[in-house]
Amino acid sequence: MVSKPIRKIYYNSRADENVYNMIREVMPPGFELVALDSDNDAERRSKIANAQVAIVAATPLTGTLIEAAHDLQLVHHQGVGYQDTVDVDALKERRLPLALTPEGTTTPVAEITIFLMLAVLRRLTFADSELRQGRWHINSLRPVSRNLKGRVIGYIGMGRIGQASAALAHAFGATGLYCDLVDTLDRQRAAALGLRFATLDEVIAQSEIVTLHIPSSPAARHIINADVIARMKPGAVIVNTARGMLVDENALYEGLKSGHLGGAGLDVFETEPPKPDNPLLLLPNVVVTPHIAGGTRDAFQTKMRAIFDNITRFYSGRELKNQVEL
């Protein structure tokens, strides 16, 4: 009896052993995980060389790596934001398929979107830091703290994550408006979430909180810039759990420093990780997290099960789910 070949699954991001073990826990028989020991491109080129499948997360799969992957047959993104993490031209040249993993991401990103709103409105991280240093702000934060209930939230992008965020915000008593390239939200659903479709200009001018839920693209770069910030309501809050390139960080800093903006909640940055001297990190009305919006154990396990189900489909000759048309 001829045994089936063991297919090598290369994971392009350096992670600790606990993450690799979570992958192995859901990996079906017949596959072998190829994990990195260091965050080093030379090791990446060496280890991807004999892999049949590459799983991509935050670390970009570059053209150089794809060229080095002589046996590569499939690239599977751990999420959906492939535009800035996969060299699509290199895949086209090799005629390699790319599949995405929408499963698992929506809930944790929506939850942290709401968390950032609350943390900024209530000055949570500032209060926590001050208390740990012996300073008790029982009254001094009252003039600058606000409820989420009653706020008008502007959503730039209304896909899965935008809708899930709006549902959570609506449960808190917030209403809102949204814009998107195509309005796919039916009127009944929008009304149930307290939303209405609007132009980008209306979203910017009328919202007390602006939250971003669109992918990266050349056209979307710095969609939040100095001109846009100047047209926002005094005291408005910006939340970004999408991509760092959507926000001009210099303009954001100036808007916050001047007092025109009330605060910002950022899970993503133009450069990741941000440099220690990034001035946004010094502002007390900015809450930051290290690109962890989708990074829960529950989400990761859901993603890995979906990925290996799709890889199994691929090798059994069935159609890939969530394949990108390149």
Catalytic residues: 243, 272, 291
Contacts (Cβ under 8 Å, ≥6 apart) of 229: 238, 251, 252, 254, 255, 260, 261
Query: Residue ranges of the alpha helices (H) in 69-208?
Result: 88-94, 106-121, 124-132, 160-171, 187-192, 200-206
**Residues pairing with 287 in the sheet:** 265
What three-state secondary structure class fits 257? helix
Q: Which strand (E) or helix (H) includes residue 9?
A: strand 7-11
* Residue in 69, 60, 67, 81 with CA at minimum distance from that of residue 12: 60
Q: Which strand (E) or helix (H) includes residue 196?
A: strand 195-197
Alpha-carbon 151 to chain mean position: 23
CA distance 135 to 122: 16
Tokens found for residue 7: 């297919």
Residue type at position 219: A
Cα end-to-end span (Å), the chain: 39
Residue type at position 179: C
CB burial class (10 A; 0-12, 13-18, 19+) of residue 291?
middle
CA distance 215 to 83: 8
CA-based R_g, the chain, Å: 22
Do strands 261-266 and 286-288 pair parallel, antiparallel, or not at all (unpaired)? Answer: parallel
CA distance 278 to 252: 12
